[in-house]
C-alpha cells in the first residue's frame, strides 16, 4: 500500500541561486519550491529524499511517464553506438526509422495520408509553420482561432492565443487573427459553429475570408473545454465550404491524452493540418511536427527551417514510443479504463461540492469556480506530495494530467489526495470572494 503514496519533503531547499540568477519569468518553480533530482514512471524525487506523484506530466509531455525503460534503453543504445545527435535536416537512420514508425504504426492504420514536416522542436514552432503554410497556400491573411485557445508564445501563435496576460507580453499589436466563440461559449443553447457560418456567409459581416481555422479539440490551457464531435465536424465543413484549411492543434490533447493517438479520431472529419509536440518524443525531448495533406506541401526548400529540426535523440525515443505503445489496441484500452475511473472520481468530487467537471479522456479537471481557491487546492495537494496544476481563464480549473501509464491503484491514491485537498480548501474559502 505504501508504494502508492507520495512522501513529500516538508522543508524548502535553498533557492538563493535561482533568486540571484534566474529570470523572474519562471513560474511552476514558484508553486513547487523543491529541487528535483531524478524521476521514474509517475514519481519525481527531490534532492532531500522526498517523493512526489506527478499529475502534471510536463503539461502532457510525459504521457508515458518519466524515463520509460523501453525508450531510455533505445536512447542509451543509440548514444553508445555514436548515433547522430544533431543532423539539421539531413537524412539519418534515426529519422528514417521514425518516419517508418509514423507511417506503419500511426498513419496507415488510420487511413491518413499526411506529409510530415519537421519544424523547430517546440509546439509553438509547429503552429507557426502550420499558419504560415495555410496563409501561403490560400493567399489569405486571416486565421480564425477560438476563445480560450492556447497555441504558443511566439508572435504568430501568440496572436492565435486568447489569454490576455500571455498576449500582453508581445509588446506589439497581435493581428490577422479573429477569435470566434468556442463551443458552449454563449451557453448550451447557442451553436457557435452556426454563428461562424453565418458570419462567413454574410458578405457584410466584416469577417474576411480566412486562410485557416485553428482549433484544439480539448482546450488544454484554456479550461479543458472539450468540443463535441458534432461541433468539430461542423467546423471542418465550414472550413471546407469557405476555402480555409482546418488546423487541429493536437500538441496537448494528442499522443493518447484525449483517449486515442490523435484527439479527433473517429469523429468523422480529417484535419488539413495537424500540429504535434509535447509527448511526441515520448521522453520529454523537444520534438514537434506539422502533418498535412500532400497537396498542401507547397514549401520551397528551406522556406521554413530551424537548426534543431534534426533532434535525432527525439526521433529514436519517438519511434520507440510509437512502436511500444501504439502497435496494438492494448494501450488505448488501458487509457479508456483509467479515463472512466478519473471521470467517475471527479464527478463524485464535483457533486459533493456542487461543482462541475471538464474535459475528456485523461485530460480532465474540476471547476473550482475561483482561481484563488483552485490554487489553495493545488497547494494542499503539493503539501501531500501531489504535483498538480490549474487551467482556465482565471486558473479556476484544477487539471489532472496523470501519466497515461499510471497504475490504477496509484491513480486512485492520487485522486484521494485531490479529494481531501478540495474538502480542506473549500470550507476555508467560504467568505473569500470569488474573482
Ligand X SMILES: *Cc1c(COP(=O)(O)O)cnc(C)c1O
CB of 219 to ligand X, least distance (A): 8
Q: How far apart are CA 403 and CA 338, in angstroms?
A: 10
Specify the residue, 27 or 300, whose C-beta has the smaller distance to ligand X: 27
User: In sequence order, which residues have a C-beta less than 8 Å from that of residue 291 and are 6 or more positions away?
Assistant: 112, 114, 115, 116, 117, 273, 274, 275, 276
Residue closer to ligand X, measured from CB, 162 or 385: 162
Query: For residue 76, what is the enclosing H or E element?
Result: helix 69-80
Sheet with 115-118, strands from edge to edge, namely: 115-118, 289-292, 273-276, 245-249, 212-215, 143-146, 177-180
Neighbours of 408 (CB within 10 A): 12
61/384 with CB nearer ligand X: 61
Exposed/middle/buried for residue 125 (C-beta within 10 Å: 0-12, 13-18, 19+): buried
Nearest-approach distance from CB 281 to ligand X, in angstroms: 11
Name which of residues 236 to 255 contact ligand X (CB under 6 A). 249, 251-252
Nearer to ligand X, 252 or 390 (CB): 252
- Smallest gap from residue 272 Cβ to ligand X (A): 17
123 part of the interface to ligand X, by CB under 6 A? yes
* 122 touching ligand X, by CB under 6 A: yes
Question: Directed axis angle between helix 408-429 and helix 371-383, to 10°?
Answer: 130
Residue placing its CB nearer to ligand X in the complex, 281 or 421: 281
Nearest to 292 by CA among 182, 212, 372, 368: 212
404 binds ligand X (CB under 6 A): no
Residue 45 DSSP code: E
Task: Tell me how far apart the alpha carbons of residues 110 and 266 are, in angstroms, rounded to a whole number.
Answer: 9
**Considering CB under 6 A, how many residues would be counted as binding ligand X?**
16
Sheet holding 36-40, edge to edge: 36-40, 43-46, 51-54, 386-387
Q: How far is the CB of 289 from ligand X (least distance, A)?
A: 12
The answer to the question of residue 156 lying near ligand X (CB under 6 A) is no
Q: Does 216 bind ligand X (CB under 6 A)?
A: yes
Find the shortest distance in angstroms from Cβ 263 to ligand X: 10
- Nearer Cβ to ligand X (251/316): 251
Contact by Cβ (8 Å): 157, 119: no
CB nearer ligand X, residue 263 or residue 421: 263
Taking the least distance from each CB to ligand X, the nearer of 250 and 396 is: 250
Maximum Cα interatomic distance, the chain, rounded to a whole number of Å: 65
- The CB-of-21 to ligand X minimum distance in angstroms stands at 23
Residue 247 CA to residue 213 CA, distance in Å, equals: 6
Residue 120 within binding range of ligand X, rule CB under 6 A: no
Q: C-beta of 192: minimal distance to ligand X in Å?
A: 19
Check binding of 150 to ligand X (CB under 6 A): yes
- Tell whether residue 124 is a contact of ligand X (CB under 6 A): yes
Name residues contacting ligand X, limited to 323-342 (CB under 6 A).
Answer: none
Give least dist CB 393 to ligand X, A: 15
Q: Which of 6, 50, 162, 220 binds ligand X (CB under 6 A)?
A: 220
Cell of 231: 461541433
All three cell numbers of 361: 479522456
Nearer to ligand X (CB atom), residue 151 or residue 313: 151
| Minimal CB distance residue for ligand X | 123
Verify binding: residue 256, ligand X, rule CB under 6 A: no
Nearer to ligand X (CB atom), residue 324 or residue 399: 399
Contacts 24+ apart (CB under 8 A), 37-43: 39/66, 39/67, 40/65, 40/66, 40/67, 41/65, 41/66, 41/67, 41/68, 41/403, 41/405, 42/66, 42/402, 42/403, 42/405, 42/406, 42/407, 42/410, 43/6
Assess contact for 66 and 44: CB atoms under 8 A: yes
Q: What angle do CA 140, 217, 286 make, to 5 degrees?
A: 85
Would you give the distance in Å from CA 309 to the centre of its chain?
A: 20
Of the candidate residues 127, 129, 322, 368, the single one contacting ligand X (CB under 6 A): 127
Q: How far is the CB of 222 from ligand X (least distance, A)?
A: 9
Kindly state whether residue 65 participates in binding ligand X, applying the rule CB under 6 A: no
Least distance in angstroms from the C-beta of 164 to ligand X: 17
The binding track of 45-64 with respect to ligand X, each residue x by CB under 6 A or -, is: --------------x-----
Phi, psi of 331 (to 5 degrees): -65, -40
* Residues forming the site for ligand X (CB under 6 A): 59, 122-124, 127, 150-152, 216, 220-221, 249, 251-252, 277-278
Amino acid at each position: 500500500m505504501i508504494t502508492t503514496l507520495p512522501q513529500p519533503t516538508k522543508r524548502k531547499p535553498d533557492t538563493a541561486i535561482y533568486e540571484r540568477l534566474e529570470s523572474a519569468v519562471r513560474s511552476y518553480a514558484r508553486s513547487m519550491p523543491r529541487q528535483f533530482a531524478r524521476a521514474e514512471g509517475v514519481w519525481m524525487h527531490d534532492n532531500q529524499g522526498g517523493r512526489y506523484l506527478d499529475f502534471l506530466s510536463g503539461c502532457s509531455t510525459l504521457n508515458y511517464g518519466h524515463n520509460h525503460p523501453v525508450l531510455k534503453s533505445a536512447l542509451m543504445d543509440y548514444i553508445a553506438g555514436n548515433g547522430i545527435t544533431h543532423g539539421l535536416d539531413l537524412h539519418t537512420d534515426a529519422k528514417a526509422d521514425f518516419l517508418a514508425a509514423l507511417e506503419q504504426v500511426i498513419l496507415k492504420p488510420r487511413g491518413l495520408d499526411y506529409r510530415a514536416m519537421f519544424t523547430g522542436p517546440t509546439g509553438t514552432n509547429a503552429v507557426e509553420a502550420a499558419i504560415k503554410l495555410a496563409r501561403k497556400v490560400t493567399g489569405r491573411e486571416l486565421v480564425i482561432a477560438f476563445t480560450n485557445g492556447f497555441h504558443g508564445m511566439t508572435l504568430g501563435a501568440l496572436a492565435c492565443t486568447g489569454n490576455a496576460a500571455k498576449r500582453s507580453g508581445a509588446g506589439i499589436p497581435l493581428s490577422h487573427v479573429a477569435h470566434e466563440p468556442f463551443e458552449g461559449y454563449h451557453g448550451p443553447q447557442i451553436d457557435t459553429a452556426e454563428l461562424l457560418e453565418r458570419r462567413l456567409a454574410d458578405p457584410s459581416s466584416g469577417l474576411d475570408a480566412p486562410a485557416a481555422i485553428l482549433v484544439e479539440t480539448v482546450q488544454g490551457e484554456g479550461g479543458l473545454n472539450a468540443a463535441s464531435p458534432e461541433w468539430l465536424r461542423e467546423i471542418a465543413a465550414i472550413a471546407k465550404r469557405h476555402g480555409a484549411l482546418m488546423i487541429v492543434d493536437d500538441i496537448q490533447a494528442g499522443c493518447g491524452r484525449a483517449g486515442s493517438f490523435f484527439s479527433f479520431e473517429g469523429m468523422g472529419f480529417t484535419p488539413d493540418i495537424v500540429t504535434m509536440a509535447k509527448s511526441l518524443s515520448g521522453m520529454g525531448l523537444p520534438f514537434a511536427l506539422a502533418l498535412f495533406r500532400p497537396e498542401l506541401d507547397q514549401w520551397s526548400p528551406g522556406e521554413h527551417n530551424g537548426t534543431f529540426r534534426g533532434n535525432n535523440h527525439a526521433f529514436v525515443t519517438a519511434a520507440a514510443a510509437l512502436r511500444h505503445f501504439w502497435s496494438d489496441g492494448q494501450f488505448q484500452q488501458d487509457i479508456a479504463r483509467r479515463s472512466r475511473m478519473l471521470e467517475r472520481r471527479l464527478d463524485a468530487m464535483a457533486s459533493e461540492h456542487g461543482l462541475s467537471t471538464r474535459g475528456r479522456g485523461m485530460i480532465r479537471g474540476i471547476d473550482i469556480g475561483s482561481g484563488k481557491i483552485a490554487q489553495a487546492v493545488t497547494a494542499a495537494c503539493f503539501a501531500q506530495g501531489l504535483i498538480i496544476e490549474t487551467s482556465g481563464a482565471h486558473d479556476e480549473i484544477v487539471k489532472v494530467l496523470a501519466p497515461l501509464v499510471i497504475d490504477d491503484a496509484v491513480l486512485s491514491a492520487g485522486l484521494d489526495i485531490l479529494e481531501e485537498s478540495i474538502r480542506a480548501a473549500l470550507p476555508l474559502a467560504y467568505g473569500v470572494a470569488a474573482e
